[in-house]
Amino acid sequence: MFHWARTNVVATWPPLALYAATLGVLLLGVLIGIGLWKRRGNRSVAQRLGALAERLGVANGDDGGKVEQALTFLEEVTGAATTAVNESTANAERLRRSLEVLSVGLVLCDEAGAVVYRNANAEELMSSRYGDALAAQAVTEVLSEGWKFGAAERTLDLYGPPRRTLQLRATVIGDGIRPLGVLAIIEDISERKRLEDIRRDFIANVSHELKTPMGALGLLAETLQYERDPAIALRLTERIHSEAFRVNRIIEDLLDLSRLESEGQPAREPIPVGLFVAEAAERMRTAAEQRGIRITIVEPPAPMLVTGDRRQLVSAIHALLENAVTYSPDGGLITITTERGESTNDDGAYGIARIAVSDQGVGIPARDLERIFERFYRVDQGRSRQTGGTGLGLSIVRHVAQNHGGNVSVVSREGEGSTFILELPLTIA
């Protein structure tokens, strides 16, 4: 019964416009009569206009007076009808414009199943190369179900590219006496679904990450309770300390990540790039020296300033250095270079500070490059367990970059080391 037709939107006149058109035809006939009366002196025309005046309730008088009064009355009616038609047209245009700017797609069918209106968003949501036929079929089906049952709803996954999820809802509309048609609402819920998936995965990952060390703490404490050998008791105590430190690291990183997401735009102040880079390197130097790893900073030719939150920026560079130390061999070298670059956006080109942290470590497999900035994602699960990594460091770097209007990327080949690049907009002097 219902079908998706790729035709132009059908414009329907409101009933008031039809009444006005009918009255216009009547007035045209009256004017023709007046012309004939004036030009030919047709007495019968004057008599008919006089009769019209009487039927319209105009006061009696001579024939000429009746005609004038009838014309005056018709002019008033014509003016009122014209005003009503203009207002109706303006209201219809206002409604159409309002529907066009909605963030959802609308498809309206009459009681015969013909599409009488669809807004631009409905066309856009269904215009993907591979999803068009599926979306059109789904809209047709949900319209039919809505007409049959009064309401209908379904969710459609389009695998793209790009991958999208559409929610379709249909409901019958009427005037309180009879149904006049059915309206389908098409909403793109891809982003909402993605955020729900992230939240669900995040809760599952947090539960898993905390469950493992907490379970280990319980077992170690229970074993230590009955252990009488001092050497074994010492090793158990060290393991308990290590697991407790790991739990504390996870909680601290979770709090940092939560704070970064809630803060959004950080407190703004001009900060020299060399200042927060040096501070982060100093905080990491002790851990690096324990494994004989050298951290070298290559200073830029000229000082550079970025505007942002110093604590967040230090945290981001520290997370990159910590990752580099974790995956570098003993005695390796980590190099931090800073250079001036350029990027573009809708407003044109602007300067950026490009901070690169390079290591000589194990590198990252190509299959993992797109996922390493996800929360709790680890390339090497076993190595991360040994080093106490939380899997949140690179996610924190990404959020800091986003909060400062920047970007973070990685260049890496397995077995040849990695280079993480943090780009931040330079302060305009």
CATH assignment of 192-263? Answer: 1.10.287.130
75 near 58, Cβ under 8 Å? no
Predicted confidence at residue 375, as pLDDT, reads: 72
**Which residues of the chain, if any, have pLDDT below 70?**
1-71, 126-132, 160, 202, 205, 208-209, 260-267, 378-391, 429
Predicted confidence at residue 12, as pLDDT, reads: 44
For 119-183, give the DSSP string: -HHHHHHT--TTTHHHHHHHHHHHHHHHHHHSEEEEEEEE--SSPEEEEEEEEEEE-SSSEEEEE
399 near 257, Cβ under 8 Å? yes
Predicted confidence at residue 7, as pLDDT, reads: 43
172 near 108, Cβ under 8 Å? no
385 near 364, Cβ under 8 Å? no
283 near 354, Cβ under 8 Å? no
Predicted confidence at residue 135, as pLDDT, reads: 80
The encoded tokens of residue 275 equal 């200042």
Predicted confidence at residue 5, as pLDDT, reads: 47
CA gap 292, 69 in Å, rounded: 109
CA gap 33, 39 in Å, rounded: 10
What order of strands is seen across the sheet that includes strand 105-110? 115-118, 105-110, 179-188, 164-174, 151-158
**Is it true that domain 267-429 has CATH number 3.30.565.10?**
yes
Predicted confidence at residue 164, as pLDDT, reads: 83
Bridge partners, residue 107, by sequence: 118, 184
251 near 214, Cβ under 8 Å? no
CA gap 45, 316 in Å, rounded: 93
Predicted confidence at residue 44, as pLDDT, reads: 60
CATH assignment of 102-188? Answer: 3.30.450.20
- Read off φ and ψ for residue 59, nearest 5 degrees: -60, 150
Which residue ranges make up each domain of the chain? 1-99, 102-188, 192-263, 267-429
Q: How many CA atoms lie within 13 A of 133 on its CB side?
A: 1
